[in-house]
Chains A and B, each alone.
Chain A
Amino acid sequence: MREVAIVGAKTTEFGELWEKSLRDIVVEAGVGAIEDAGISGEDIDMMYVGNMSGGKFIEQEHLGALIADYSGLAKGLNVPSTRVEAACASGGLALRQAIQAVASGYSNVAIAAGAEKMTDIDGSGVTDALAAAADREWEGIQGATFPGIYAMIAKLHMAQYGTTSEQLAAVAVKNHENGMNNPIAQFKSKLTIEQVLKSIMVSDPLHILDCSPVSDGAAAVIVVPADEAHKYTDTPIYIKASAQASDTIALHDRRDITTLDASVAAGKRAYEMAGLTPKDINFVEVHDCFTIAEICAIEDLGFFEKGKGGPASLAGETALNAKISVNPSGGLKSTGHPVGATGVKQAVEAVHQLRGEAGKRQVNGAKYGMTHNVGGSGATAVVHIFSNER
């Protein structure tokens, strides 16, 4: 297995991009990543596109080919292109596929993109499309929405560990604080705990401001063998670990409803692969699709003991340059959550942080960064560890 590095990275603006189509945004991200790497399209020999639900959101499948076509890599160059799907973890999985392709020697320059165009259909359609990430036959049919499923995790976490609505709200407030300094963020506004608690209830105890929004956006990275990385850039970012794990599709079948065992397993595998422990990690981009999801994530990945994620969040231990910087990008909450794009956007943030290019949201002295991307309510988890040192 070859070691692997990222040499180019780009995220489009996230938000309601009514004037842009899915193809527009993927091409924008892809071209941006290629330019950042200083390569040309001809160098690319493998493409992966993470996308959750082109079929539901824009009635378009076969996105691998579509995107190769609109990137100018189909006709003539005939570059192989694969669409990867694991609900909201599609992006993280696309990155992992690209890493595996390069590590194995099947590819020398792979592009991993992630993209979602969610705002072309109405809110009801989006809620229904997202519900497909859970078990349609045995959760969805009873009216279980995605916020509803995470609300049930939150309710039990509160009952078991005394987690409070204020602690949940503190996650959103902190992520908005970071997102204000992220040019691509959908919501660059300051939030207060009061505002979160007063916002409308979506699914008790989750208010609208506990939820990640509905977004459009795309991101892309260029993956090459570590041995060749300096050919492209002076600041390659090395992949120290790429790990993935599965769990039951339905929340009700989990070993423990308030622990995402897939996150725990993927985290453990990643730490082992990198030879690191949670103490070594300087920042982590976690999958905060809902505020409770960030609290579970920082516990499941070993940064805080189970049940201590809420108090730690309220005490500011997860703020930028505090005990551990959690979601320096602003997370899904403030940056936006175009589902298929998120996993790749997290990697782009890791690249910017580790290159020291993150401006006002820079994590001081960042050497190891982690990304954590979840599909559904925890049926898939993908964890990566990055470093600016080989």
Chain B
Amino acid sequence: MTVPRFWREQQSRYNLVGSHCKTCGNYYYPIRNLCPECRRDGDMEQYKFKGTGKIVTCTVTHTTSDEFNDLVPYALAIVELDEGAKLTTQIVDEPEKVAIGKRVHSVFRKLGSDGDSGIIYYGTKFELDKE
């Protein structure tokens, strides 16, 4: 991903900032300018998520593209944040421990890099809560 493309979404990626619609009360991640529910009647404000939620569904990926090959096998999940928005994220724990229904919280991690000497991208992944 190019630097400007990544930079543009930095807020959402680093700080888990999304949108809250004051008309319908829905939360969205990442930032949306138009509420898909209310469209022009919506009233969006930026919102920083607490970063806590639970796993809705998950998988362990063994075959992937070169970009993620160093990570295999890695756990991927759809997390429902406590505010109600859902997102797709890696879960940084050992894949065997990841399961539907488990509680998770956000962590700041490396997302990728442009080759060996290129820039490194950081962002949010999730980790299982201690039981």
Contact = CB atoms under 8 A, between A and B. Distances in A.
Interface of A: 123-125, 127-128, 131, 135-139, 141-145, 147-148, 151-156, 159, 200-206, 208, 250-253, 257
A151 B98 CA distance: 14
B67 A152 contact: no
B62 A156 contact: no
B65 A152 contact: no
Interface magnitude class on chain B: 20 to 34
Given A143-B64, A203-B61, A203-B62, A251 B78 contact: yes
A204 B59 contact: yes
Interface in B44-79: 56-69, 71, 74, 76-78
Contacts of A135: 88
Contacts of A124: 64-66, 69
B57 A143 contact: no
Contacts of A201: 60, 62
Interface in B1-56: 1, 5, 9, 30, 56
A290 B30 CA distance: 28
A141 B30 CA distance: 13
Contacts of B112: 141
Given A127-B63, A153-B57, A142 B69 contact: no
B57 A144 contact: no
Given A141-B123, A142-B125, A155-B59, 9 more contacts: A148-B59, A154-B59, A200-B62, A202-B61, A202-B62, A203-B76, A206-B59, A252-B87, A257-B57
Contact of B65 (A145, A202, A203, A252): A145
A171 to B, nearest CB: 18
Interface in B73-131: 74, 76-78, 86-90, 100, 111-112, 123, 125
Interface of B: 1, 5, 9, 30, 56-69, 71, 74, 76-78, 86-90, 100, 111-112, 123, 125
A306 to B, nearest CB: 16
A128 B60 contact: no
Contacts of A250: 88
Contacts of A206: 59
A251 B88 contact: yes
Contact of A148 (B9, B56, B61, B66): B61
Contacts of B76: 142-144, 148, 152, 203
A143 B74 contact: yes
A143 B61 contact: yes
Contacts of B9: 137
Contact of B100 (A138, A156, A204): A156
A250 B36 CA distance: 14
Nearest to B67: A128
B56 to A, nearest CB: 7
A141 B90 CA distance: 10
Contacts of A156: 56-57, 100
Contacts of B90: 142-143
A204 B60 contact: yes
Contacts of B30: 137-138
Contacts of B125: 142
B60 A203 contact: yes
Contacts of B68: 143
Contacts of A127: 63-65
Contacts of A138: 30, 87-88
Nearest to B101: A159
Contacts of A252: 56, 78, 86-88
10 contacts: A138-B30, A141-B112, A144-B76, A152-B59, A152-B78, A200-B63, A202-B61, A204-B59, A204-B60, A252-B88
Given A139-B88, A251-B88, A257 B61 contact: no
Give the one of A136, A143, A200 with max B CB within 10 A: A143
Nearest to B63: A202
Contacts of A253: 86
